């Protein structure tokens, strides 16, 4: 097979990332996170994110090329996140990709960030082949901004069959963490505390039709529950943090899994994948693994480094577009809201 070197660029939120793939094999995947910049504000501040991307993009791309052991003239094409995401943050990556592709006179491919998350399952490691999912499969894509059940029929043929009508699963984690006074992003912290607790506090599931989700009611239910308990005992959160985290994590995962299982039963598709930042959650990973051990599904769980935002997933999605000659024009603009 001919060797193509694809540079991927991701700047949709608070990670500046550049990766080089040789076809689908990762040669480098450099990620500069901005967590410390935004933590003080309790969430991502768009203007600060754009500025940090501007500062980081050149060193990050340079580092990705060095780690891959190739020169920029070896690149076959450049793949970049066009959207969805923060407009200013996307602008940095899109403008950079356009200038670099123009200067090198190579094609470029625009990638939908959410499709990138799904296609992360096809990234290969050097010297270690991981069998990817076969088509068709269902992918539960859960991030800070999205919650989707995606029917994936081919690399470039996927349809959203269910999604959140309000908050995303990542937001449900982060907002619950905020209610508990934990710093942003709270998802990984809830995961860590939950591992030491038991889900003793019960919450009701939202009742939403079809494969859609809703998490905003759960957040309100959680807020009222905590306020009620704190009225009775002002140390309630400190004294029960592990159990509280285990309880909110359990209900979020149960809700996510119930719709995924319903979609699997209705479509007859038993290859199930997860993707996006929340797929790093150990409770969700274990819920999928237990399905597999009961022979209810064949599951695909990405390595941690491909769960949260990274450019390798943008490069692999771009690679399939490259093979299909689906190139972007130099007039391409970022799209904060991008159709799937
Ligand atoms: O995909 P991602 O890196 O960025 C977006 O595209 O949004 O997802 C970030 C989200 C955040 O809400 C973060 O709290 C959540 O993923 N997250 C987790 C875990 N790791 C990241 N949520 C629960 N458990 C985790 N271990
Ligand atoms: Zn993401």
pLDDT score at 272: 98
The closest residue, in CA terms, to atom 16 on ligand 1 is: 277
The closest residue, in CA terms, to atom 1 on ligand 1 is: 277
Regions of the chain with pLDDT less than 50: none
Residue 61's nearest CA partner among 333, 321, 311 is: 311
pLDDT, tens only, 242-268: 999 999 999 999 999 999 999 999 999
pLDDT score at 36: 84
> Around Cβ 2, how many Cβ atoms within 10 Å?
5
Q: How far apart are CA 139 and CA 117, in angstroms?
A: 9
- pTM for this prediction: 0.95
| Helix-helix angle 236-267:187-194, to 10 degrees | 100
H or E stretch at 64: helix 46-68
Q: How far apart are CA 113 and CA 313, in angstroms?
A: 9
Through-space distance between the first and last CA atoms of the chain, rounded to whole angstroms:
30
pLDDT, tens only, 217-239: 999 999 999 999 999 999 999 99
Residues with CB under 6 A from ligand 1: 13, 143-145, 170, 173-174, 185-188, 191, 276-278, 280-281, 308-309
């Amino acid at each position: 097979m001919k060797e193509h070197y694809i540079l991927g660029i991701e700047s949709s939120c608070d990670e500046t990332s550049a990766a080089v793939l040789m076809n689908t094999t990762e040669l480098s995947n450099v990620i500069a996170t901005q967590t410390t910049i935004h933590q003080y504000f309790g969430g991502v501040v768009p203007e600060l994110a754009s500025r940090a991307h501007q500062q980081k993009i050149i060193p990050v791309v340079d580092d990705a090329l060095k780690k891959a052991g190739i020169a920029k003239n070896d690149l076959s094409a450049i793949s970049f996140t066009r959207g969805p995401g923060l407009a200013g943050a996307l602008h940095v990556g899109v403008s950079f990709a356009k200038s670099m592709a123009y200067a090198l006179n190579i094609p470029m491919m625009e990638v939908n960030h959410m499709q990138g998350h799904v296609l992360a399952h096809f990234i290969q490691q050097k010297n270690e082949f991981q069998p990817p999912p076969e088509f068709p499969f269902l992918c539960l894509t859960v991030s800070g901004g999205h919650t989707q059940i995606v029917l994936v029929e081919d690399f470039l043929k996927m349809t959203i069959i269910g999604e959140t009508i309000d908050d995303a699963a990542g937001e449900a984690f982060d907002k619950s963490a905020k209610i508990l006074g934990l710093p942003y992003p709270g998802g990984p912290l809830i995961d860590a505390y939950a591992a030491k607790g038991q889900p003793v506090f019960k919450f009701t599931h939202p009742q939403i039709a079809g494969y859609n989700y809703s998490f905003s009611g759960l957040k309100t239910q959680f807020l009222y529950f905590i306020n009620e308990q704190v009225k009775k005992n002002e140390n309630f959160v400190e004294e029960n943090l592990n159990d509280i985290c285990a309880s909110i994590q359990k209900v979020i995962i149960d809700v996510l899994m119930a719709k995924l299982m319903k979609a699997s039963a209705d479509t007859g598709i038993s290859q199930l994948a997860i993707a996006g930042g929340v797929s790093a959650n150990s409770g969700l990973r274990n819920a999928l693994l237990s399905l597999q051990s009961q022979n209810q599904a064949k599951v695909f769980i990405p390595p941690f480094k491909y769960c949260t935002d990274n450019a390798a997933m943008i490069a692999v999605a771009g690679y399939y577009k490259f093979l299909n000659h689906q190139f972007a024009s130099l007039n391409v603009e970022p799209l904060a809201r991008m159709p799937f």
